[in-house]
Structure 1
Amino acid sequence: MSGTPTQQILCALTDIPDGGSKGVLPNARGRDQGFLVRKGDEVYGYVNNCPHYDRAPLGWKKDEFLNGAKDRIMCSAHGALFRIEDGACTIGPCLGQALQPIPVTVKDGMVLGAVPATPKAQA
């Protein structure tokens, strides 16, 4: 089995509110394995796991992965904050660590993601 990422449609760009977030890649139990954050026409994708506490989902409820100011990604388990643009932890117990990115592109109004065949989130 190859670990080469495969490109797939994650959602329409309009499914993500500008300045908001959206969970994607639900597993068999419905937990989103990844999430997207939109800033204008830019979209950033990450695996839905905190680097401090592996397998802990970041969102505090469906499609809510940002802090109140909507300028950082926030871990619901312990409040760590991460930069949207690169996933680097800026506050919290995981300083020096970063979220695992999901490379994404926007084409013809659709968000496409290069999802690994066996992402860490499903291990």
Structure 2
Amino acid sequence: MHLLCTSDQLAEGQSRSFVCADLPLLAVRRDGRVHLYRNRCPHRGVRLDWQQDRFLDDSGSLIRCAVHGALFLIESGECVTGPCEGQALEALDCLEDERGIWLNAQP
């Protein structure tokens, strides 16, 4: 397991980027739950963030690809609009405990 950050470093409704063993990751906290994905658009393999730790659309309800504007559901990573519609972000298993948020697998 790899510690990504303390729980207070990912506030409700916020997103954050990480790199773990050279694997770019993104995390979003929604409704108290952390959702962790590989930071890679399924369309072209590019990083999704448009600025450091900025992955969400203007409403804060979807993950947006900075390059192509594709929109992904936070809870499942499914692309709901854009060139990769029907595909999904690669979800990664994470765990949150009193020490923080962990990547719960080998990258």
Which residue number corresponds to residue 33 of structure 1?
24
Compare CA radii of gyration and give the structure with the larger one. Answer: 1
Q: Does the 8 Å CA contact 2:2/2:20 hold for their aligned counterparts?
A: no
Q: Does 1:99 align with 2:93?
A: no
Give 1:17 deviation, angstroms: 2.0
Unpaired stretches in structure 1, ≥5 consecutive residues: 1-6, 118-123
CA distance in 1, matches of 2:42, 2:88: 7
State TM-score, norm by structure 1: 0.80
* TM-score between both structures, scaled by the size of structure 2: 0.92
What is the match of residue 72 of structure 2? 82
What's the CA shift for 1:109?
4.5
Structure-2 residue corresponding to 1:52: 43
Kindly indicate whether residue 52 of structure 2 is the aligned counterpart of residue 62 of structure 1.
yes
1:23 aligns with 2:26: no
> Which amino acid is the alignment partner of residue 36 of structure 1?
A
Q: Is the partner of 1:9 in helix, strand or coil?
A: strand
- 2:27 aligned with 1:9, yes or no? no
Preserved contact between residue 2 and residue 102 of structure 2 (Cα < 8 Å): yes
Once superposed, which parts of structure 1, at least 4 consecutive aligned residues long, lie more than 4 Å away? none
C-alpha contact 1:14 1:109 (8 A) present in aligned 2: no
Aligned residues: 107
SS of the residue 2:95 aligns to: strand
Tell me by how many angstroms 1:26 deviates. Answer: 5.7
Q: Which residue identity does 2:26 align to in structure 1?
A: F
Partners in 2 of 1:64 and 1:115 — Cα distance?
Answer: 24
1:25 Cα deviation (Å)?
Answer: 1.5
Paired AA for residue 70 in structure 2: A
Report deviation, 1:116: 3.1
Task: Return the structure number with greater strand share.
Answer: 2
Deviation at 1:96, TM superposition (A): 1.3
Q: Following TM superposition, by how much is the alpha carbon of 1:105 offset from its aligned partner in structure 2, in angstroms? A: 1.3
